[in-house]
Structure 1
Amino acid sequence: MSKLSYKKLFKKMIDIDMKNAELMEQAKVSKSTFYKMKNGENVTTDVLVRICDVLDCDISEIVECVEVTKKQERIY
C-alpha cells in the first residue's frame, strides 16, 4: 500500500524559514487542511498547486508517494 508523504514540504519550509501560519495565509489553506497534511492525510491537488505557487516549486518538491508496510498500515 502506498501513501502520500508531505515531509518534503515541511523540510522545505524549515529550509526557507517559513512558519506554518505564513504558508496557510499565502496559499489560502485552512487549518484543518494543513493539519491533514501534518497527519499524512490526503488533500486536494488544488491545495498542493496553491502551495507550489507560493513556494515557486514543482509538486515533486513537496509531496512524494511512499510505500507503507503492514505494521505502519495499522497506525494509519
Structure 2
Amino acid sequence: MSRISYKKLFKKMIDLDMSNNELMEKASVSRSTFYKMKNGENITTDIIVRVCDSLNCDISEIMELVND
C-alpha cells in the first residue's frame, strides 16, 4: 500500500530556514491542516497548490508517494 509523504516539504523548510508558523502564514494554512501534513494525513489539492505557490516550487519538491 502506498501513501503520501511530506518529508520533502519539511526538508525544504529546513533548507529555507522557515518556521512552521511562517509557512502557515505565507500559505494561509491552518494549524490543524499543517499538522495533518506533519502526520502524513490527506489534505486538499488546493492547500498543496498554496504551499507550492508560497515556496515557489513544484509539487514533486514537497511530496512523494512512498510504499509502506
Q: Fold conserved (TM > 0.5)?
A: yes
TM range (shorter): over 0.9
Q: What TM-score do the two structures reach when normalised by structure 1?
A: 0.88
For the pair shown, which has the larger CA radius of gyration, 1 or 2?
A: 1
Identity percentage over the alignment?
74
RMSD of the alignment, in Å? 0.4
Q: CA deviation at 1:25?
A: 0.4
Instruction: Give the ranges of 4+ consecutive aligned residues of structure 1 lying more than 6 Å apart after TM superposition.
Output: none
Aligned equivalent of 1:18: 18
Structure 2: gaps (5+ residues) = none
Q: What TM-score do the two structures reach when normalised by structure 2?
A: 0.98
Q: Distance in 2 between matches of 1:5 and 1:52?
A: 15
SS at match of 1:46: helix
Q: Distance in 2 between matches of 1:5 and 1:47?
A: 15
